[in-house]
Amino acid sequence: MSTLSPGALPISALPWLVAAWLFAVGLYGIVTSRHCVHLVGCLTVCQSATYVLLLGLGYVREAGPPVFYDHPPGTPAVDPVVQALVLTDIVVGAAVTALLLAIAIQVQRRRGTLDPQALRPLRPPPPSAE
């Protein structure tokens, strides 16, 4: 990307652009969200931008997977460290998403709404919320 010029983007910039686009879309969704479940979905979109970025950072041209079962060790392989990072983060991220959705269920139960706009932390809930 050091040769990045606005006129002619090299095709190799595509992964970074995809990551940036995903992150931007997710961020826009978070900022304009009117529903907590939608908010959690947008957060996972942002998260997947980091996966694209990490996997793009680890890619080596003309290289195979970092699993030396059917090709011997020493053949070119992509970076396993970023893949390990992404792998654990997908699983932990799924659990964290479940936690956020559980919080959303509790908010709905106690406040009767999931609109972040209508949620005021310090205001007592309306009596009709239960």
Partner 1 sequence: MTPRWRLLLLALALLVLAPAVLRVALTLPAFGAPTAALGQTVNALAPELRHVANMVAAVNFDLRGIDTLGEECMLLCAVTGATVLLRGARGEHDTARAGRLPGRPVTPRADATVLVCRIFATLTLMVGLSVALHGMTTPGGGFQGGVIAASGLLLLYLGEGYAGWRALVPPPVLVALEGGGALLFVLCAGLPLLAGHPALQNRLPLGEFRDLYSGGLMVLVNAAVALSVAGSFGLLLVEFLEETREAGDDPISDEEDR
Long-range contacts of 39-42, Cβ-Cβ distance < 8 Å, separation of 24 or more:
39/116, 40/97, 40/100, 40/101, 40/104
Query: Which residues ranging from 66 to 85 are in contact with partner 1 (CB under 8 A)?
Result: 66-69, 73-74, 77-84
Min dist CB 128 to partner 1, Å, is 14
x/- track of binding to partner 1 for residues 86-115 (CB under 8 A): -xxxxxx-xxx-xx-xxx-xx--xx-----
58 near partner 1, rule: CB under 8 A: yes
The count of residues interacting with partner 1 (CB under 8 A) is 57
61 near partner 1, rule: CB under 8 A: yes
27 near partner 1, rule: CB under 8 A: yes
Min dist CB 42 to partner 1, Å, is 13
Cβ contacts of residue 30 below 8 Å, gap of 6+? Answer: 39, 42, 43, 46
Q: Residue 64 pairs with which residues in a beta bridge?
A: 77
| DSSP output for 35-58 | SHHHHHHHHHHHHHHHHHHHHHHH
Contacting residues toward partner 1, per CB under 8 A: 1-2, 4, 12-16, 20, 27-28, 31-32, 34, 56-61, 65-69, 73-74, 77-84, 87-92, 94-96, 98-99, 101-103, 105-106, 109-110, 117, 124-125, 130
